[in-house]
Each structure stands twice: as C-alpha cells, then as structure tokens.
C-alpha cells in the first residue's frame, strides 16, 4: 500500500480514502509522510482505523469524527461528481 501511495500522490500531497475500512491506506499514507483524509461510516471499523493510524506515531496526525448528512441538492451534486470521476477513470468521455 505504501508503494501505491507513493505512485499516485505528489510530494507533500494528501491521500483520500472515502471507504477507509480498517485504515490500511491511512496507515501507509502516514508512514510515507503524506496527509490523509479517510471516511468510514461503521463505528467499529472507524475505531480500528483510528488506532492503526495513530500507532504510526506521527504527531501531525489528527483522527476525529464528523457527522455529515447529504440531502437534496448536495446529494445530487455528490452523485454527479462521482459519476464524472468514474467515467474519466474508465475512459468514457461522453
């Protein structure tokens, strides 16, 4: 995972993981000196990820919780962004 973080993240960049799970990507990003933003809806997995990322010992790391609720226009805008990103990744220019 460290290799993938180095491969796609510019020096001093931030890795974003919208489905953090147990925090493997966050731990790898932190170990490599990158910033990290992770999102996890499951409280159990969030706590596991928090412990794993904090275990790296980087004093710049802050792990916390935020409650976000997407409704109405914000949810529609979020879906459009995700669809556009998927099309770009799959090479679909339409």
Give the pLDDT confidence score for residue 66 in this predicted structure.
58
**d(Cα 36, Cα 72) in Å, to the nearest integer?**
28
Give the pLDDT confidence score for residue 7 in this predicted structure.
93
Give the pLDDT confidence score for residue 24 in this predicted structure.
95
Q: Which residues of the chain have pLDDT under 70?
A: 58-75, 78, 81-82, 85-86, 88-94
H-type helices in 1-94, by residue range? 2-8, 24-31, 43-54, 72-90
Give SS3 for 16. strand
* Domain layout of the chain by residue ranges: 2-66
Prediction pTM value: 0.65
Give SS3 for 36. strand
Tokens of 60: 């710049």
Distances (CA, A) of 37 to 1, 52, 53, 76: 15, 14, 11, 22
């Amino acid at each position: 995972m460290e290799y993938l973080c180095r491969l796609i993240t510019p020096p001093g960049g931030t890795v974003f993981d919208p489905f953090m799970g147990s925090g493997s990507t966050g731990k790898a990003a932190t170990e490599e000196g990158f910033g990290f933003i992770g999102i996890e809806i499951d409280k159990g997995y969030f706590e596991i990820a928090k412990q794993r990322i904090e275990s790296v010992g980087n004093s710049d790391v802050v792990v916390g919780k935020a409650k976000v609720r997407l409704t109405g226009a914000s949810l529609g805008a979020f879906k459009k962004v995700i669809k556009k990103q998927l099309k770009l990744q799959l090479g679909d220019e339409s």
